[in-house]
């Protein structure tokens, strides 16, 4: 259900590489959530870096949404980068698992296609 890849690079470097890899695969980075900064603004110390990237392939999203708008509940794809063991870990919930959890039918092949690309983005970022 969760795919993870370890990297010896810093979270900042992996984040830059992730943005470049996403663009190569025709995915856009819609937003970057800095969880450490957000929690610190609320007086909570997380202790480690944690950036969550919302990524989306507009063509795939449009095809999925035309099948059933409820697919929007699992869009966009999220990729997390957090510091771990002197480097970082890059993780995502596999799109096929997210789609299966909805119980919706009709976009399983599309979810598998998106998953292949998301995992390639992660592998290239590490």
Domain borders along the chain are: 2-125
Kindly report each contact of residues 102-107 with a partner whose C-beta sits within 8 Å and lies 24 or more positions away, as own/partner: 102/70, 102/71, 102/73, 102/74, 104/67, 104/68, 104/70, 104/71, 106/67, 106/68, 107/63, 107/64, 107/67, 107/68, 107/71
pTM: 0.93
At residue 107, the pLDDT reads: 82
Task: Match domain 2-125 to its CATH number in 3.40.50.300, 3.20.20.10, 3.30.310.70, 3.40.50.720.
Answer: 3.30.310.70
Q: Note the pLDDT tens digit of each residue in 31-82.
A: 999 999 999 999 999 988 999 999 999 999 999 999 889 999 999 999 999 9
Q: Note the pLDDT tens digit of each residue in 7-30.
A: 999 999 999 999 999 999 999 999
Position 104 pLDDT exceeds 90? no
At residue 102, the pLDDT reads: 86
């Amino acid at each position: 259900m969760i795919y993870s890849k370890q990297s010896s690079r810093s979270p900042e470097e992996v984040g830059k590489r992730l943005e470049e890899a996403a663009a190569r695969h025709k995915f856009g980075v819609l937003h970057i959530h800095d969880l450490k900064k957000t929690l610190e603004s609320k007086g909570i110390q997380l202790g480690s870096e944690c950036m969550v990237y919302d990524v989306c392939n507009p063509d795939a999203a449009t095809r999925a949404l035309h099948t059933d708008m409820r697919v929007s509940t699992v869009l966009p794809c999220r990729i997390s980068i957090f510091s771990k063991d002197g480097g970082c870990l890059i993780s995502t919930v596999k799109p096929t698992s997210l789609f299966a959890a909805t119980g919706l039918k009709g976009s399983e092949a599309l979810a598998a296609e998106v998953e292949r690309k998301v995992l390639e983005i992660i592998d290239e970022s590490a």
